[in-house]
Amino acid sequence: MEPITTLLVMDISGSMLYAGKLDAAKAAAKEFVNHLRPTDRIGLLAFHTEIFYVQPITTDRDLIFSAIDSLKGDQDTVMYDALLEATDILSEVKGRKAIVAITDGIDTLSQSTPESVIEQIGPAGLSISTIGLGDPDQDLAEYSAIDEEALVFLADNAGGVYAYAYEEESLSEIYQSYAIAFKSEYQLTYTSPSTLRDGVNRALSVSLADTAQTLNGVDEEPIVYNPGGLVPEVSEPVPLLFFGAIMAGLIMLLTIPSLINLIFKPGEKKTSKAKPTQKKKPKITLKD
């Protein structure tokens, strides 16, 4: 199975300093890294009012652990801006990839929206899963609160899953299950029996043989794709005589204007220039 590339996106805003949220997130992030295979790659993006690409994608576990330990909480939150930047980073990465965001979900300063993030992940071919930290019983104005509605909406529409964890122990369990799930993913390749690039949409549906199982992140609607083809292909080759007839017709169309011009061109009128008449010189007669 090919390696997985995961980008951890961690909230280090001031609200993460309350109720032990940031410490729990750090410990669980390390636990998640420990469950990855040696060939799996991981990076770290952190955000508060600003966004920091703390550790680029790497297989070096010591580098990622040091990056996690260096995180400090401060300022406000630009969660959606950070997720948008994370999708840009992973858009250049080939193969299986995912974003795992750990945050309380309370965004205060982003210029981006959840819709813009969801729209961006389509071309990037990745998923976003969210981990929520905070007290769901608290009002969103409280630093210890969590905006679960926003995190659920994001994960549901970005091909990922949402999980809530308030304590370090439960958060570690969630990261372990994520690591296992990512390593259990399969990539399917389907060759259509209709091989023509005729510009007609195809609809694909995937189901499991075991009806007790479900496909996570897949709804009931079939996936639609278009094979392309500016000029539709046909199943049978067209005779050369047909192309010859079309070419002859085109040539005739091009020559028609010239023929019309020759037939109906007005004739040129010839004009002759008259020679100037010379005046006779008067004769002078002398009389006696």
**Spatial distance between the Cα atoms of 168 and 232, rounded to a whole number of angstroms:** 58
> Is pTM, for the whole model, over 0.75?
no
Pairing of strands 96-103, 4-11: parallel
CA–CA distances in Å: residue 197 to residues 64, 201, 228, 229: 46, 10, 6, 5
- Within the chain, residue ranges assigned H as helices are 21-34, 61-69, 79-91, 114-124, 148-157, 168-183, 240-263
Highest mean pLDDT among 48-62, 129-143, 152-166, 171-185: 48-62
Q: What is the mean pLDDT of the segment spanning 186-201?
A: 71
Higher pLDDT, 104 or 224: 104
pLDDT tens-digit map of 197-256: 666 777 777 776 654 444 444 445 566 666 665 555 555 565 667 667 777 878 877 787
With vertex at residue 9, the alpha carbon angle to CA 36 and CA 105, rounded to the nearest 5 degrees, is 125
**Spatial distance between the Cα atoms of 70 and 60, rounded to a whole number of angstroms:** 16
CATH level 2 (architecture), domain 4-183: 3-Layer(aba) Sandwich (3.40)
The 3-state DSSP composition of the chain as helix, strand, coil percent (nearest 5) reads: 35, 15, 45
Q: What is the mean pLDDT of the segment spanning 93-112?
A: 92
- Residue 205: the pLDDT is 74
Across the chain, what does the average pLDDT equal?
A: 79
